[in-house]
A and B are shown apart, each in its own frame.
Chain A
Amino acid sequence: MSLDPATVRRIAKLARLRVDEAQVGQLQSELSGILNWIEQLDEVDVGGVAPLAGAAQMAMRMRDDVVTDGGIREQILANAPDRQGDFYAVPKVVE
């Protein structure tokens, strides 16, 4: 599988990564190389095999539906690059 430049730009857009035009060629060849290599999995017979999502061989626990944390607004906002009052601040989204 070889990715075309448009696909590289589309993946970058989906991943919210700015990719300059000059980088597209190199990414195209690196990503294609990785994808070609992982396509060796096509030779594995996976018929009737149930997918395995995780390594934890256990059932998910239920916990009591109670508040266990909170009231730490200042701690949470301490790492914000920009804030207004008690909120994270971002550029205007809705005109």
Chain B
Amino acid sequence: MSMHDLTLATARDGLRRKRFSARELTAHFLDAIEVINPRINAFITVTPELALAQAAAADAALARGEAGPLTGLPLAIKDLFCTAGVATTAGSRILEHFVPPYESTVTANLLRDGAVFLGKANLDEFAMGSSNMTSAFGPVVNPWTRRGDNAPLVPGGSSGGSAAAVAARLALGATATDTGGSIRQPASFCGIAGIKPTYGRCSRWGIVAFASSLDQAGPVARTVEDCAILLGSMAGFDPKDSTSAEQAVPDFAAACKRGVRGLRIGVPREYRSDGMPPEIETLWQQGLGWLREQGASIVDVSLPHTKYGLATYYIVAPAEASSNLARYDGVRFTDRSEGADLIELYENTRADGFGAEVKRRIMIGTYVLSAGYYDAYYLRAQKVRALILKDFTDVFRDVDALVTPTAPSAAFAQGEKMDDPVTMYLNDVFTVPANMSGIPGLSVPAGLDANGLPLGLQVLGKPFDEETVFAVGAALERAAGFTTLPSLRAPSLRAPSLRAGAEP
């Protein structure tokens, strides 16, 4: 195994056994970023000096025998998490020069546990998108390509930079956020794992807000176990977030080893959508077979309001976004376009600073909250949301977890699905219901489509029962044996000299 094929868990082992130092590991990833990032644009900002200083501190901690859970492990941070003293753009022109004076709770937790931050990962503007095409800093290229076709594919979104960086071996893991599928869909498109935990599991404090009742942070990484290790550090009660859950953080990594014997796995019949590629249906059945072989029983269930999830989302999320994004007014956050009076200053700043998709969502949100339309749109959506939650509450009386496809397709080409906003929105049909109801959802790479592109399976669980989600996800991962690598990934030739005995 070369350095670029390390998982987070094996890298941690290597550091503790002194097979390589944190500085060597970090330098390897910084070199890889220098070579590969110009081709995939996964990072908006790279912070080599900071990373090497953090790595030096990690080596000192390791030498003292004081290693934390993540000491010396290089990560990418989605550029939606505020990082003290490091530009945080949210993928938007309007925050291009914003340097937060504070650290988000999630990234502070990772630093507390010894992680090394390589830089800030690209994303759809304000996390609004499913392709990373809406970033003001240019699209991210998926490290995977179709067999015999070099057309650049999207990495999914909004956490496209995070997922592409991990898939291309430019980081051991990355932080991401998920408002309607933004962790799970890019994980599926890039052939890696990613979990959106239960709403309230990770603090939202210091994460640039999109839709506050839906936003939730989580990790993406090569393996389910790596996600479990990262989530263990990211999660935890935070008094600075009023919706943060006062719940103990269990040993998620231990849950990966539980197995699925005796578990009841639900298969929601409404997730069988028309026009879904047959490979996805086949992979889904295969996944259920793997769980059955490992001792789980498979149960047919119904979530009758699933089909309304997306439409509900596209009222609730824009409504909350229109309110959250009102703060970008040209007065407090670095960039201003002048106007003859204050109103014109606001209007010009926001017209120049926001991209087309963000403007569309702000306008939809403003409309559905406006006088005379509130009841017809927003209030009705909140009632349908209650019905979506009830669907899940009902089925989880009978089953321990649900297994579905993560997305209705594999990665598509840049420029596809761009003609009509609604076509792009349909990407999130299988992921949105978990955000509407707050339940945890994990995507596991499980197979390839006919073009050789990765496909993910999604595991949904009960609120605050990520442990069962990890157990089921790890069981799928073991059975799938997904080892195919993307065509574009970090070269091993520039790996730093490993100490004798480092290569098994």
Residues of A within 8 A of B (CB): 3, 7-8, 11-12, 14-19, 27, 30-31, 33-35, 37-42, 44, 46, 49-58, 60-61, 63, 72, 75-76, 78-82, 88, 90-93
Contact = CB atoms under 8 A, between A and B. Distances in A.
A51 B382 contact: yes
B422 A44 contact: no
Given A72-B101, A81-B334, A44 B384 contact: yes
A80 B97 CA distance: 11
A44 B382 CA distance: 12
Nearest to A19: B351
A75 B100 CA distance: 9
B363 A17 contact: yes
Contacts of B359: 17
Given A33-B422, A76-B101, A81-B335, A27 B363 contact: yes
Nearest to B438: A55
**Pairs A-B, 8 closest by C-beta atoms:** A55-B438, A51-B382, A75-B101, A18-B351, A52-B386, A55-B199, A46-B383, A81-B336
B287 to A, nearest CB: 26
Interface of B: 97-99, 101-102, 199-200, 212-214, 239, 242-243, 245-246, 305, 308, 311-312, 314-315, 322, 326, 329-336, 339-348, 350-351, 354, 359-360, 362-364, 366-367, 370, 377, 379-387, 389, 420-422, 435-438, 463
A55 B243 CA distance: 9
Given A37-B314, A56-B245, A88-B331, 18 more contacts: A16-B350, A17-B350, A27-B363, A31-B363, A34-B364, A41-B308, A44-B308, A44-B383, A49-B387, A51-B383, A52-B389, A53-B382, A55-B199, A63-B239, A76-B101, A79-B99, A82-B336, A90-B331
Contacts of B382: 51-53
Given A11-B366, A54-B243, A55-B214, A81 B331 contact: yes
Contacts, number: 164
Contacts of A76: 101
B336 to A, nearest CB: 4
Contacts of A17: 347, 350-351, 354, 359, 362-363
Given A33-B420, A41-B308, A55-B438, A15 B331 contact: no
A55 B435 contact: yes
A40 B384 CA distance: 11
Contacts of B436: 55
A49 B330 CA distance: 41
